[in-house]
């Protein structure tokens, strides 16, 4: 697996100071990180632990890349694409590649600059150090997680803002677009299947519960009629209830309970008609306009054992529903 060929490199002039070279390496790092992430090349070094990941990078540098010292008059910094496809470079390009891979894997990375002569203050070599794990990656050195004894060293940790730079902004933008597309797909699926939106499920929750309670009590013989409706056309009843955001299994359970009870407030006519199925949604919407009152009365009725008291409350429910129908003509 090769990175896309990229001929980008940076020429460092012979007159550049040591600090200029360091600054150029750090400035080149975000672009190297972006390239590694976009290509997905870093994934081949993911072995599940910092030491294993770092060793995989070191082995790649040792086995795949040939060290080639840049001449003083033409110091070059190579992006990973150019570096991997050329299969050569010096410690600067080694370090940029290793830092980009480890950064893409989510590790905090530091460039370590070292000098080896007594009293030296200007670094002559650079490699990678993982400060959180005390791991060294020097592809120019023959031992993994080891380093040549130095006389002077300085670490430059790449700040977190580098890891959340240009590429991460693009990544967040892509994720937002993906979320928008998924939401649109779900809306289209709901529209095609007839499933209700979340808003409808919430707004009809209370009237659905009131309706279920009245079915359980077999008010108007609703449980008896719905049981017959299910026997004749279960699919139609289920579709109507699902469009209201209800759980059909719960409805069937309340129907089974209510159908065993004597109908309250009439309900002797059990003739099945299409309008009875269609009336479910209209009835639930009617309850929504006076839902809390229905819940109160039906709960009271359910808790009474005195026949006279139950009869009186039945009459109150009947009057309430008749009043509601007079205020909202056409409701059941």
d(CA 290, CA 324): 8
Q: Model-level pTM?
A: 0.48
C-beta separation of 282 from 324 below 8 A: no
Residues 107 and 222 placed together within one structural domain of the fold: no
Does 223 lie in the same domain as 139? no
Q: What is the pLDDT of residues 131-159, one digit of tens each?
A: 999 999 999 999 999 999 999 999 999 86
Tokens 């150019």 found at = 82
* 4 lies in some domain: no
Structural domain ending residue among the three candidates 158, 186, 209: 158
What is the CB neighbour count within 10 angstroms for residue 328? 14
Alpha-carbon distance of 54 to 135, in angstroms, equals: 8
pLDDT at residue 305, as a whole number: 57
**Same domain assignment for residues 122 and 218:** no
Q: Please give the structure tokens belonging to residue 85.
A: 């496809």
- Residues 248/238, Cβ–Cβ less than 8 Å: yes
User: What is the domain range of residue 95?
Assistant: 9-158
- Cα angle 320, 326, 329; round to 5: 125
Asked if 243 and 138 sit in the same domain, the reply is: no
Residue with tokens 């967040």: 172
Residue 305 lies in a domain: yes
User: In this structure, what CATH number is given to the domain that contains residue 75?
Assistant: 3.10.620.30
Tens of pLDDT, residue by residue over 164-184, are 444 455 566 767 887 888 888
Which of 245, 253, 229 is CA-nearest to residue 193?
A: 245
Pick the last residue of a domain from 158, 184, 206. Answer: 158
2 falls within a domain:
no
Asked, for residue 24, whether it belongs to a domain, the answer is: yes
Number of domains in the chain: 2
Predicted pLDDT of residue 12: 47
The neighbour count for residue 64, using CB atoms within 10 Å, is: 10
Indicate the residue among 158, 189, 224 that finishes a domain: 158
In a domain, 166, yes or no: no
């Amino acid at each position: 697996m090769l990175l896309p060929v990229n001929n980008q490199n940076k020429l460092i002039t012979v007159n550049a100071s040591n600090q200029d070279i360091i600054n150029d390496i750090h400035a080149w790092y975000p672009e190297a990180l972006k390239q590694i992430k976009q290509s997905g090349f870093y994934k081949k070094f993911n072995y599940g632990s910092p030491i294993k990941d770092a060793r995989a990078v070191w082995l790649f540098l040792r086995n795949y890349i040939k060290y080639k010292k840049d001449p003083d008059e033409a110091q070059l910094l190579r992006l990973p694409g150019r570096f991997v496809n050329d299969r050569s470079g010096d410690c600067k390009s080694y370090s940029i590649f290793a830092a980009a891979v480890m950064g893409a894997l989510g590790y905090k990375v530091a460039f370590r600059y070292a000098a080896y002569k007594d009293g030296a203050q200007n670094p002559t070599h650079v490699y990678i150090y993982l400060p959180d794990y005390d791991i060294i990656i020097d592809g120019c050195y023959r031992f993994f997680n080891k380093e040549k004894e130095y006389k002077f060293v300085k670490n430059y940790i790449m700040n977190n803002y580098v890891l959340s730079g240009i590429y991460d902004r693009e990544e967040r933008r892509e994720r937002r677009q993906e979320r928008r597309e998924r939401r649109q797909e779900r809306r289209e699926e709901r529209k095609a299947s007839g499933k209700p939106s979340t808003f409808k499920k919430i707004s009809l929750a209370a009237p659905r519960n009131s309706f279920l309670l009245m079915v359980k009590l077999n008010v108007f013989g609703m449980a008896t009629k719905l049981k017959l409706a299910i026997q004749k056309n279960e699919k139609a009843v289920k579709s109507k209830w699902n469009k209201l955001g209800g759980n059909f299994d719960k409805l069937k359970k309340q129907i089974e309970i209510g159908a065993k009870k004597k109908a309250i407030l009439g309900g002797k006519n059990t003739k099945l008609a299409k309008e009875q199925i269609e009336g479910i949604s209209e009835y639930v919407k009617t309850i929504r306009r006076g839902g809390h009152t229905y819940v109160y009365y039906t709960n009271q009725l359910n808790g009474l054992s005195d026949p006279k008291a139950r009869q009186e409350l039945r009459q109150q429910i009947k009057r309430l529903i008749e009043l509601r129908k007079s205020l909202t003509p056409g409701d059941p």
